[in-house]
Amino acid sequence: MSLLKRVKSTVLSIRKSLRRFPITIGISSLLALLLIYLIESQISGVVKETLEKIALVLGLGIPLSLCIALLIEKFSKNNRLYPLLLYVGGGLFLVLYYFFFLDSIGAMAGYRYFGTMLFLLLAFLYIPRIGKDKDYEYYIMDVLQGFAITFIYSFVLYIGISIILLTINQLFDINIKGELYLYTFLIIVFVFAVSLFLSKLPSIEREYKGVKYNKSLIVLLTYIVIPLISVYTLILYLYFAKILVTNEWPRGLVSHLVLWYSTLSVGVIFLLTPILEENRIAKLFKEIFPKIILPILLMMFLSIYQRVAQYGITENRYYVIILGLWVLGTMIYFSIKKPLKNILIPISLSIVVLISVYGPLSSFSVAKYSQNRRFEKILIANNMVLNGEIIPNEKVSKEAQKELSNIISYFHRNHSINDIKSLPRDFNIDDMERILGFKYNPYSTTPFEEYSYFYYSIDLEEPINIGDFQYLVNINSWQENEIEVAELIIRYNRQENILAISKKDEVILQRDIMDFVRDLYEKVESDTNGRKNLVHPIDMIYDISLLGIEENFEFRFIFTNLSGRVDEDNNIDLDGAEFILLIGLR
């Protein structure tokens, strides 16, 4: 097929997808325009926050409208009332989501948004094949092939347009704005790529009788993927044998390694299903692997139990547990069911995802309940509760102080301090010493998480006072370049985090950056009103004056990014720092 015919075929396919999914493509295109407007207008404040929430809702609207369109194709092509009710219901859901689940952007809202998006994407994969699950694996391969083609076409198109813009900019000095490349990317992703992908989506009536499995995929799965998984399984068995010998339980990292490897294995068995009867390696793997992985999953659950028993359930631990239970159930299903109905895999996973972000069994509800119980138990164990009221105890052990502080820190970061039922409704971190008898002193208590990580970034939407300074120097902690400005030599020692400023071989200023970092960490962690990662410029600025005989120097440190770790003794390790040094001569 010639290039012209390929282009014509692609255009016709996109026209077909416009007729089949007009609302989905319309929402996606509207999202692209809104994102471009947000970038181009440079608005801030309430208006920007509102538009960002609308953009998030439109993002959900893309898979939601697609699911609705597929439901209509599947169950009600000739009924006009049913499609209307579905689209009205979908629109109402998006409106309710905007007002009730995006009222504040935080960790909880992020988890729920991701979970809702994942549920809709999984639903999109199984809705067209409900009641027609035979050859479901071929349908999924069709979808994946369409996605791969879309990715390649979109990538090539973006690179080609970018090269054209760059060439025009260089040859004709038109001064094309850098944002134009981003706008091109957004249009290609949300307009071209979405339209092209939907044009590749198999029809509801598509049959796969007589379709042959791709030979390259068979070779990849049976001669590369299966041996790799087998070797990985052997390594895990050897590691768990070591645990039994040394009686040392695995670290938290092992739970994640087991979880993702077992989840990947579910996908491998899913793809192997069509060739189980004709390929001995695939059949043997499907019969043996779901059984031999069960002891590994059991050890994983025992490892998680150690953490939960000590530190309660958090959202992250909840997701590990519930995904692990889903993998366990799937492996048991693989072990006992013949023949397999693999459409149950995405259906069951979507139900698990939905339960994990909504309702009384959601990660948020379970985690808050668990941490409340843990908080209450620590108070009772240290004789800090009398007739339902908290009794301050300044003599409580350092370990108990840190655990209570850590629970309060958890609620402050992820929910609200008011969700801690044992504390007064108007409790504030500043009230710690008065209510509990000791100061707020949080740190991560999980043995695997030896450090509590922090990241601070300056809020660039707030104005910054630069005063009458003459020079601006950008400095970061991963470079040790010597900078010369106004007869001053600036050196940064990243091993010791020392900034030294010299003039005529004489050091006139030497500061340990860690002094600023420690002060900033204490200010941010004790602030109950601000956002943990986004810090007001007032808290990120430090001024130093040097008075000399001949001339005076003014230095202003403006930290733009800080990241690091804090151990259980509140010792800080700096991972990275970026700051601006303003220099003024008086």
403 by DSSP, 3-state: which? helix
pLDDT grade for 191, boundaries at 50, 70 and 90? very high
Q: Is residue 97 part of a domain?
A: yes
The answer to whether residues 82 and 53 belong to one domain is yes
Specify the pLDDT at position 449. 43
Domain-located, residue 444 = no
Is residue 270 located within the same domain as residue 316? yes
Q: Cα separation of 7 and 231, whole Å?
A: 45
Token digits of residue 444: 């991560």
In what helix (H) or strand (E) does residue 502 lie, and over which residues does it extend?
Answer: strand 498-503
Q: List alpha helices for 1-135, DSSP H.
A: 3-20, 22-41, 45-75, 81-101, 107-126
Same domain, 180 and 114: yes
Domain end, chosen from 174, 199, 224, is at: 199
Together in a domain, 395 and 371: yes
Position 305, amino acid = Y
d(CA 176, CA 163): 12
The pTM score is 0.75
The larger pLDDT score, comparing residue 187 to residue 304, is at 187
**Is residue 221, in this structure, part of any structural domain at all?**
yes
Closest CA to 286 of 219, 226, 351: 226
307-312 contacts, C-beta under 8 A, 24 or more apart: 307/252, 307/446, 307/448, 308/370, 310/445, 311/374, 311/445, 311/446, 312/367, 312/370, 312/371, 312/373, 312/374
User: At residue 446, does pLDDT exceed 50?
Assistant: no
Do 193 and 251 belong to one domain? no
DSSP letters for 140-164? HHHHHHHHHHHHHHHHHHHHHHHHH
pLDDT at 94 over 80: yes
Instruction: Say whether both 267 and 168 belong to one domain.
Output: no
Greater pLDDT, 305 or 327: 327
Q: What is the pLDDT of residues 467-486, one digit of tens each?
A: 788 889 888 877 767 888 87
Q: Count of CB atoms within 10 A of residue 198's CB? A: 22
176 in any annotated domain:
yes
Based on the fold, state whether residues 92 and 178 are members of the same structural domain: yes
> In angstroms, rounded to a whole number, what is the distance separating the alpha carbons of residues 496 and 475?
15
Q: What is the mean pLDDT of residues 267-295?
A: 92
Q: Is the pLDDT of residue 326 over 80?
A: yes
Q: What is the mean pLDDT of residues 347-351?
A: 96
Q: Is residue 441 part of a domain?
A: no
By the 8 A CB rule, do 349 and 305 touch? no
Count of structural domains within the chain? 4
State the Cα–Cα distance between residues 349 and 351, nearest whole angstrom: 5
Tell which of 158, 174, 199 closes a domain: 199
Name the pairing type of β-strands 541-546 and 498-503: unpaired
**Same domain assignment for residues 135 and 252:** no
Judge if 195 and 223 occupy the same domain.
no
For Cα atoms 343, 345, 349, give the angle at the middle one, nearest 5 degrees.
130
Q: What percentage of residues in the chain have a pLDDT greater than 70?
A: 92
Same domain (yes/no): 375, 227: no
Beta bridge partners of 473: 581
Tell me whether residue 210 is in a domain.
no
User: Residue 338 — left, alpha, or beta (φ > 0 → left; ψ -120 to 50 → alpha)?
Assistant: beta
Domain that holds residue 375: 364-435
- Looking at the fold, whether 24 and 110 belong to one and the same domain comes out as yes
pLDDT of residue 568: 52
Q: Amino acid letter at 538? A: I
Query: What does each C-alpha distance from 249 to 255, 300, 447 come to in angstroms?
Result: 11, 10, 11
Q: Which residue has the tokens 């104005």?
A: 463
For the chain, what is the mean pLDDT? 86
Among 486, 469, 475, which Cα is nearest to 554's?
469
The answer as to whether 204 is a domain residue is no
Same-domain pairing of 345 and 369:
no
236 belongs to a structural domain? yes
Among candidate residues 199, 234, 267, the one where a domain is terminated: 199
